[in-house]
Homo-oligomer: A and B are copies of this chain.
């Protein structure tokens, strides 16, 4: 939902230097429709940009979260943190089976953020609204590669 230039612009405005690595990471974030982890971004970019280190991906994502350009959703039943490039208030539905996250539009979330802003006396800089749902492969849950291993709501 955020464009590459919005992300890089936010970094620049916050005083960060614009390196090719950061530009590539912002581009990847803007292009992806899912909720990537540091590892998945690294894997994607390593193909065309083989020197890119995982460390840099972690650091850049961290910087973007700090300035409020993206959000950190926590894990989705796996062990890795998922990031959210879409900072429009919405609900995230996580599948604990295949570890994917789907966005759900919500009018109530906006009210929620107002409540938080009022209670804390400042604007909401970051947060996570995540619920767990069944597999996102709606048409055929059997297609979820992890369905067999399913044990329940662990997280």
A-B contact pairs, 15 of them (CB 8 A): A65-B154, A66-B151, A68-B153, A72-B154, A72-B155, A74-B74, A74-B75, A106-B115, A107-B115, A108-B108, A108-B109, A119-B133, A120-B133, A124-B131, A126-B131
When distances are taken between beta carbons in the complex, the residues of chain B under 8 Å from A133 are 116, 119-120, 122
Contact flag A104-B116 (CB < 8 Å), given A68-B153, A75-B74, A155-B72: yes
Q: How many residues of A contact B (CB 8 A)?
A: 39
**Chain A 67-82 interface 0/1 with B at a Cβ cutoff of 8 Å (1 = within):** 0100010110000010
Contact flag A112-B91 (CB < 8 Å), given A66-B152, A154-B66: yes
Bound Cα distance A90, B5 (Å): 36
Bound Cα distance A72, B111 (Å): 23
A-B contacts besides A65-B155, A91-B112, A127-B132, 8 pairs, CB < 8 Å: A65-B153, A72-B154, A93-B120, A109-B112, A111-B111, A124-B131, A126-B155, A127-B130
